[in-house]
């Protein structure tokens, strides 16, 4: 049993009698150096996350879920300010997130975003909150290195900073996974300290934060098995306290019992054998190819390999902490093979596995003397001077961490800027974030949707349903326009699970398989308006316009809004079929364009004051 758990009164008295360390002595101690490294690590992580987040004006990155999260946080706050309870989620009535069945499985995350709305407008609030929580998440991983006195602290910091581009990319999204990492790290620390009772409130908070809360239960089971192996006894408390927190968090929940239905829906549609989904979902749920894994996670995979090599049981007992990370991170690695989205978790815990395996491997054996005592008695030992080979090996061991640290720093620069600046087609994370779509995409279209015409009437009456052709456009539409409802969003399974036939019909419509889509949209989906990206669903839009049932009420470079007419009319001229010109007609058109260009140039020369 560790001393920190059962500290005897005698030990406490000895500590009380021990003279306190002066400030100067502390500054000269190894612990002071580690504290300085800890502070340096926090500042470095904060600077990197701030720099990456400010490379785009949008809520980063890759998808637009962050717009939904911050908008829902703002709606919660609007209700709370008026001393009202939770608002009704009424924007996806055809899905499992309809007003009667909606459950917020990010509830605590949404509450924790509210304080940032007190000081910033929503987009900035989401970005600042992302930097704040992502920095704490990455720092919590580094803090474990510090807390358990892993040697070469800065080397492990460098490894964490380069563990994976995909990890840092996903940490910059305005979503809940950073809180998942923070809670998981705290849970692991409680397990290591055998302070099990605090697992109950921690798990309770985890359930309210994100639907990946079983991760902490897996950690408790792993720790229970390790204790059973090493101490030949069943330590029931980790599992019982964690399970108790999970049950309490689900039952004492503002969305009970619909939160249980939503959790089951997630589990049934996402966690299954094989990579084929009944419904095509976001790319994050599909696996990496073997080459993509090697290219995206070289440091994390190398860390796993180092951990596996260095993990050596001592006698009949397992090194507890290293054994825990071996089992826990192996589960995350298996999940990483299954789905890209586990890039949020696998890489940093792979570094922790390597660090704790290294620490256990290099720990002095029981029969060895402590380093301080060995140094004190060395002058009195009649030992031969080290040979040249021994001196060289010692110097090499001392230099290795520095060499590895320099290589990791170089790799970090490569991760940031890529190689395209040197003539290679390899973009870095900075360019990947910069190339995200602009933050104001769809803003003009939705301002029109919520605005008034010249007579003062709504362009689209409040409460109307808009047929959004693509499910992942919903967060942006919801962010800019809460006056209207939508067909589906956040996850296509939400519509499929509620009404499979309706989902299949929607797919046929948006893929242009139905020649007269507008009446079907009105009858089956209850929508009188259609929203489409300007560059997508062109076949369906063309057929709808050609049919005479719809008219374009707004269009820009990003999006278009169409209204389904109550009575069929004439197709707009641009929608009528026009056969392509024959080769002879095309030659005539080309010749006319060349003559027009010559005339323009001649006129420009005549107008030149110098001529």
pLDDT in tens, 230-284: 999 999 999 999 999 999 999 999 999 999 998 888 777 666 544 456 666 666 7
Confidence of residue 71 (pLDDT cuts 50, 70, 90): very high
pLDDT recorded at residue 28: 60
Neighbour-count burial of 41, counting CB atoms closer than 10 A to its CB (0-12 exposed, 13-18 middle, 19+ buried): buried
| 551 CB neighbour count, 10 Å cutoff | 16
- Output the pLDDT for position 9: 42
As given in the structure block, the two tokens for residue 7 are: 């500290």
Region 213-227 average pLDDT: 96
- 392-420: average pLDDT: 67
pLDDT above 90 covers a percentage of the chain that reads 59
Mean pLDDT of 150-158: 91
Each as own residue / partner, the long-range contacts of residues 215-218 (CB below 8 Å, 24 or more positions apart, any chain) are 215/180, 215/184, 215/345, 216/183, 216/184, 216/187, 216/242, 217/242, 217/243, 217/246, 218/328, 218/331
Over range 574-588, report the average pLDDT.
55
Residue 32 has a CB neighbour count (10 Å cut-off) of 14
pTM: 0.82
**pLDDT bracket for residue 30 (50, 70, 90):** confident
Please check whether residue 529 is in contact with residue 557, taking contact to mean a CB–CB distance below 8 angstroms.
no
What value does the mean pLDDT of the chain take? 84
CB 288 within 8 A of CB 516: no
pLDDT at 22 over 80: no
Residue 136 confidence (pLDDT) above 60: yes
Can you give the residue ranges of every domain in the chain?
33-62+103-367, 445-575
CA–CA distance, 53 with 34 (Å, rounded to integer): 28
State how far the Cα of 171 lies from the Cα of 379, in Å rounded to an integer. 52
Summarised one tens digit per residue, pLDDT across range 87-106 is 999 999 999 999 999 999 99
**Residue 481 DSSP SS3:** coil
The mean-pLDDT minimum among 368-377, 424-433, 498-507, 552-561 falls in 368-377
């Amino acid at each position: 049993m560790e001393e920190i758990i059962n500290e005897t009164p005698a030990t406490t008295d000895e500590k009380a009698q021990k003279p306190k360390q002066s400030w100067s002595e502390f500054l000269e101690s190894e612990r002071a150096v580690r504290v300085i490294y800890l502070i340096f690590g926090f500042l470095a992580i904060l600077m990197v996350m701030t720099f990456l987040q400010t490379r785009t004006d949008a809520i980063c990155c890759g998808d637009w879920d962050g717009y939904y999260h911050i908008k829902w946080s703002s709606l919660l706050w609007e209700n709370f300010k008026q001393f009202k309870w939770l608002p009704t989620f009424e924007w996806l009535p055809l899905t499992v997130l309809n007003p009667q069945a909606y459950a917020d499985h990010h509830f605590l995350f949404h509450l924790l975003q509210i304080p940032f709305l007190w000081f910033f407008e929503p987009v900035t609030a989401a970005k600042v909150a992302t930097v704040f929580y992502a920095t704490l998440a990455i720092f919590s991983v580094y803090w474990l290195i510090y807390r358990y006195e892993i040697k070469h602290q800065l080397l492990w910091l460098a490894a964490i900073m380069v563990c994976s581009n995909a990890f840092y990319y996903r940490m910059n999204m305005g979503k809940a996974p950073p809180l998942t990492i923070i809670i998981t790290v705290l849970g692991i620390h409680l397990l290591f300290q055998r302070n099990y009772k605090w697992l109950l409130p921690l798990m309770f908070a985890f359930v309210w934060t994100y639907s990946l809360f079983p991760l902490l239960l897996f950690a408790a089971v792993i720790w229970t098995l390790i204790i059973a192996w090493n101490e030949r006894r069943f330590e029931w408390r980790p599992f019982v306290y964690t399970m108790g927190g999970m049950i309490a968090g689900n039952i004492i929940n503002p969305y009970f019992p619909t939160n249980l239905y939503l959790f089951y829906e997630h589990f049934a549609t996402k966690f299954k054998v094989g990579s084929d989904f009944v419904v095509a979902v976001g790319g994050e749920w599909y696996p990496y190819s073997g080459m993509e894994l090697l290219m995206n996670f070289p440091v994390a995979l190398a860390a796993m390999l180092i951990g596996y090599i260095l993990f050596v049981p001592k006698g009949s007992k397992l090194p507890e902490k290293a054994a825990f990370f071996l089992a826990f991170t192996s589960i995350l690695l298996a999940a990483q093979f299954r789905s890209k989205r586990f890039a949020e978790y696998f890489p940093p815990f792979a570094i922790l596995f390597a660090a704790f395996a290294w620490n256990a491997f290099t720990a002095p054996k029981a029969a060895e003397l402590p380093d301080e005592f060995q140094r004190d008695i060395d002058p009195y030992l009649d030992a031969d001077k080290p040979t040249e080979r021994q001196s060289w090996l010692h110097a090499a061991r001392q230099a290795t961490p520095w060499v590895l640290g320099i290589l990791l720093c170089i790799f970090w620069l490569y991760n940031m800027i890529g190689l395209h600046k040197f003539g290679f087609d390899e973009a870095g994370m900075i360019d990947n974030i910069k190339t995200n779509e602009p933050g104001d995409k769809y803003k003009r279209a939705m301002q029109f949707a919520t605005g008034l015409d010249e007579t003062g009437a709504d362009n689209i009456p409040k409460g109307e349903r808009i047929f959004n052709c693509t499910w992942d456009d919903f967060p942006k539409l919801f962010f800019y326009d809460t006056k209207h409802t939508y067909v589906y969003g956040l996850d296509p399974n939400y519509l499929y699970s509620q009404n499979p036939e309706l989902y299949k019909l929607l797919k046929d419509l948006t893929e242009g398989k139905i020649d007269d889509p507008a009446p079907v949209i009105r009858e089956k989906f209850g929508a009188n308006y259609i929203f489409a990206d300007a560059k997508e669903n062109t076949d369906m839009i063309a057929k709808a316009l050609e049919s005479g049932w719809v008219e374009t009420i707004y269009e820009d470079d990003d999006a278009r809004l169409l209204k389904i007419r109550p009575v069929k009319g004439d197709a707009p001229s641009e929608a009528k079929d026009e056969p392509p010109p024959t080769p002879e007609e095309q030659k005539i058109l080309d010749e006319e364009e060349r003559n027009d260009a010559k005339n323009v140039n001649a006129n420009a020369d005549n107008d030149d004051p110098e001529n």
